[in-house]
């Protein structure tokens, strides 16, 4: 583990122990996007493990969020429905040269709290209105105009993904696999990244769009 990230382990453990098993805390190493999770405490919230990658939430809910304040975003939510909501906060980690090298992510499951509120309502009547609303997107899908710093961060993530890859000799299926990995992490929601990835992989942007159409059709995405 990067020594600059390792020093955050006591903080991660302290947060996890303070808030209990419903609070999962993760350290991400952005120099290794495909296996970015290098430390995790209370892994039961999202069922992820060391060696797993960050999700698309890191791009959409953190880097290009309109709620980002300095180097952190707090109290954004995600989940399939009200009973499975997770409240999250993420802080970026910089090295001594101010380069972003990682992130600490706190994921707090609201499932037990929601059950508690429902139990109270069942016992003494509906004194409380629904406490948790389903998450709403804070940005439009598609190209997002972002500042130069965010573009630099995401370009570095792409560089790390393709580091050491002989892009000239990739098969079509291998190229699609890399594009799929980036698409699943919302990298192409950043303005200009289709062109940058195309240049980095030595293919045309039309080819990238073709791969994206194929991937999105497989995922039954409708435009």
**Which tops the pLDDT comparison, 24 or 190?**
24
Q: Is the pLDDT confidence value at 221 over 80?
A: no
In a domain, 137, yes or no: no
Q: Write out pLDDT tens, residues 77-134.
A: 887 665 678 999 999 999 999 889 999 999 999 887 777 776 777 777 655 455 545 4
Q: Computed over its alpha carbons, how large is the radius of gyration of the chain?
A: 19
Structure tokens at 31: 């120099």
Q: Is the pLDDT confidence value at 141 over 60?
A: no
Q: Is the pLDDT confidence value at 188 over 70?
A: yes
| Same domain flag for 110 and 188 | no
In a domain, 139, yes or no: no
Which of 89, 114, 139 lies at the terminal end of a domain, its last residue? Answer: 114
| Same domain flag for 100 and 162 | no
| Same domain flag for 79 and 178 | no
In a domain, 71, yes or no: yes
| Same domain flag for 7 and 109 | yes
Residue 93's domain spans which residues?
3-114
In a domain, 143, yes or no: no
| Same domain flag for 20 and 109 | yes
What is the average pLDDT across 4-13? 96
In a domain, 192, yes or no: yes
Q: Is the pLDDT confidence value at 17 over 70?
A: yes
In a domain, 138, yes or no: no
| Same domain flag for 41 and 88 | yes
Q: Is the pLDDT confidence value at 138 over 50?
A: no
| Same domain flag for 7 and 86 | yes
Give 3-state DSSP helix, strand, coil % of the chain, rounded to 5.
45, 20, 40
Looking at residue 25, its pLDDT comes to 97
Which CATH number goes with the domain that contains 83? 3.30.450.20
| Same domain flag for 13 and 66 | yes
Which of 92, 114, 136 lies at the terminal end of a domain, its last residue? Answer: 114
How large a percentage of the chain has pLDDT more than 70? Answer: 84
In a domain, 210, yes or no: yes
Q: Is the pLDDT confidence value at 137 over 80?
A: no
Contacts of 90 (CB under 8 A, 6+ apart): 58, 61, 62, 72, 73, 103, 104, 105, 106
| Same domain flag for 19 and 93 | yes
Looking at residue 57, its pLDDT comes to 79
Mean pLDDT of the chain: 84
| Same domain flag for 109 and 152 | no
* Distance, CA of 156 to CA of 147 (rounded, Å): 15
In a domain, 124, yes or no: no
140-175: b (≥16 Cβ within 10 Å) or e: eeeebebeeebbebbbbbbebbbeeeeeeebeeeeb
Q: Write out pLDDT tens, residues 52-68.
A: 999 877 887 787 777 77
- The count of domains in the chain is 2
């Amino acid at each position: 583990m990067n020594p600059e990230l390792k020093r955050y382990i006591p903080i991660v453990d302290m947060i996890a122990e303070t808030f209990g098993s419903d609070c999962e805390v993760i350290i991400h190493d952005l120099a290794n996007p495909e296996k970015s999770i290098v430390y995790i405490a209370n892994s039961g919230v999202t069922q992820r493990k060391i060696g797993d990658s960050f999700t698309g939430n890191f791009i959409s809910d953190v880097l290009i969020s309109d709620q980002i304040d300095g180097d952190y975003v707090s109290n954004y939510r995600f989940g399939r429905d009200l009973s499975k909501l997770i409240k999250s906060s993420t802080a970026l980690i910089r090295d001594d040269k101010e380069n972003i090298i990682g992130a600490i992510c706190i994921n707090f499951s609201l499932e037990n709290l929601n059950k508690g509120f429902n139990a109270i309502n069942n016992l003494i009547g509906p004194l409380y209105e629904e406490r948790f609303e389903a998450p709403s997107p804070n940005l439009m899908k598609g190209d997002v105009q972002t500042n130069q710093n965010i573009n630099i961060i995401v370009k570095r993530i792409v560089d790390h993904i393709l580091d050491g890859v002989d892009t000239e000799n990739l098969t079509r299926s291998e190229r699609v696999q890399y594009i799929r990995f980036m698409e699943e992490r919302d990298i192409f929601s950043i303005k200009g990244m289709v062109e940058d990835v195309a240049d980095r992989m030595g293919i045309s942007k039309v080819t990238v769009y073709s791969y994206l159409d194929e991937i999105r059709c497989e995922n039954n995405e409708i435009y």
